[in-house]
Structure 1
């Protein structure tokens, strides 16, 4: 059980930091603003996604919230990761460009899996 707790916290903190960093970049980086234009998304979507990622990361880090609330954050992040991969591939980027997306997906999967293990002690 202790190893599940370690896996949960390490993967959840790393994933949340990754999402918070990307949310910050969505707001502050002109390069990210250009990336959203390149992907064909309207500018307001960049702001909405930054807010959603920030709120989702906070939800995952608060252990006192009910698992149903965290479940919505996990579902939202899963949709986000799949959508990011589809968006990049749809404009013709190679699969090799999805390194960060795959890394985030692995961290999210580890966090979710270990959270289930902890709930079913």
Structure 2
């Protein structure tokens, strides 16, 4: 059980750093704004995306949130990573920018799997 918790928290903290902390700190930089424009999204999309990323990160890291809300956060991040990969692939072709979101998606899957392992161990059958 302790190993499951460690794996869960390491994976979850990586997601929170990439999807909560970094967007909060760097979303208003010119480089971030240019990244959104480069993918041909409107400027407001970047701001909306940052708000939902921060909310999702908070939901994942605070244990007291209802499991149904956590499921929505995991689903939102899954769509985010898939569509980020597709967007980069469509604009730039096959590149590291198209693969990187899928690597982070794999880390998210680890967090999700171990979240359910921990949850199942807590709930008596």
Superposition TM-score tier, normalisation by shorter sequence:
over 0.9
User: 1:25: which partner in 2?
Assistant: 26
Q: Where does residue 66 of structure 2 map in the other structure? A: 66
Larger relative contact order (Cα-Cα within 8 Å, sequence gap ≥ 6): 1
**Residue range with higher mean Cα deviation, 61-70 or 15-24:** 15-24
TM-score by length of 2: 0.89
Q: Tell me, in whole angstroms, the C-alpha distance in 1 between the residues paired with 2:116 and 2:44.
A: 34
Deviation at 1:23, TM superposition (A): 4.0
For residues 71 and 91 of structure 2, what CA distance do their matches in structure 1 show? 31
Could you state the TM-score of these two structures normalised by the residue count of structure 1? 0.92
CA drift of 1:92 comes to 3.0
Q: Which runs of 5 or more structure 1 residues have no equivalent in the other structure?
A: none
| Superposition pairs of residues 13-92 of structure 1, within 5 angstroms | 13-20=13-20, 21-26=22-27, 28-92=28-92
Aligned pairs, number: 120
| Root-mean-square deviation (Å) | 1.3
Gaps of 5+ in 2: none
Structure 1 segments (4+ residues) deviating >6 Å:
none
Distance 1:90 1:103 in 2: 18
